[in-house]
Amino acid sequence: MAMEAVRGLELELEDCALPLLAGIVATDEPEEAFRDIDWALLIGAMPRREGMQRKDLLRANVGIFKQQGQALNKVAKKSVRVVVVGNPANTNALVAAHSAPSIPIEQFSALTRLDHNRALALTAAHLKVRVDQVRNVCIWGNHSNTQVPDLTHALWVNNSGQSESVLQALDQDGIQWIQNDFIPIVANRGAEIIKARKLSSALSAAKAIADHVRNWQFGTQGDQFVSMAVLSSGQQYGIPKGLMASVPVTISNGIWTVVPNLEIPEMIQKRINASIKELEDEREEALQFLSLIPSQ
């Protein structure tokens, strides 16, 4: 049945008449799909339906992402870069990375660019400026409703081309707006879309994946940063080693670097700590499930 849907996608891809599309391999065999690939966009996961929490999905998805990691390990190029989209994305990325020990773990990531784009759009609408006038918003932690959309270092570019602080541009109620509107709207946007569409986000997720891949391939601009969930070193922002946590990064020559030494207000750091705690719990649960799945 899934292959019928894949066939539909194949037909649509053909109909796009994409000049750069050299060929399609339509398969449900990971080792065939991943052979010699440069990029893996791991979109398929057990999907969340209305009312479900992401944690409900963990057990099923550990099995899926272990298998995908093992297949990547076996047949993909060792330089492959991996973007995990299927939820719970951060922990799925960790499971895939752990299952692919021959691929450097820095080449695994999870998508939080969708949250980043949501933060950009909401901020631009609030300030009544164009979205491309806003930059350096960021998302910390998990791609879940504990995530921390952060405007502390956000800038907007005025009509003379100068960058100004978003925080300073907000009116007196700015802090209230951030706490009561901005953070919860961005953090719960995925659930809001599922409620409305009865399906998870699709168009905005595809756009975010394209943004993520484009920046990883071609780099970020100047000192502008973007958000992606990557392996934590244990040395920054109170995030323990070995989690896939969303952080602000800049990218050059295909290498991401966490933006160093950002000042974090206490209110934001507390929220980051809570999201990190959720990631630690997910990791523990995932490791338990992993040990229950026999190795192939």
Count of positions on this chain that bind ligand LMR (CB under 6 A): 8
Is 143 catalytic? The answer is yes
Q: Per rule CB under 6 A, is residue 126 in the interface with ligand LMR?
A: no
**Binding residue for ligand LMR (CB under 6 A) from 152, 201, 224, 273?**
201
Rg (C-alpha) for the chain, rounded Å, is 19
| Nearer to ligand LMR (CB atom), residue 30 or residue 190 | 190
Shortest distance (Å) from residue 128 CB to ligand LMR:
25
Q: Per rule CB under 6 A, is residue 48 in the interface with ligand LMR?
A: yes
**Binding residue for ligand LMR (CB under 6 A) from 152, 188, 200, 224?**
200
Residues 51-90 as x/- pattern, contact with ligand LMR by CB under 6 A: ---x--------------------------------x---
Query: Under 8 Å CB-to-CB from 289, ≥6 apart: which residues?
Result: 58, 59, 62, 63
Cα separation, 121 vs 132, in Å, equals 9
Residue showing tokens 């070193």: 233
Q: Per rule CB under 6 A, is residue 30 in the interface with ligand LMR?
A: no
Output the CA torsion 19→25→30→36 (10° steps).
-60
**Region from 22-30, 69-77, 91-99, 193-201 binding ligand LMR, contact rule CB under 6 A:** 193-201
**Binding residue for ligand LMR (CB under 6 A) from 105, 167, 169, 193?**
193
Shortest distance (Å) from residue 147 CB to ligand LMR:
9
98, 116, 126, 143: the active-site residue: 143
Q: Which residues are catalytic?
A: 143
**Where do contacts with ligand LMR occur on this chain (CB under 6 A)?**
48, 54, 87, 114, 190, 193, 200-201
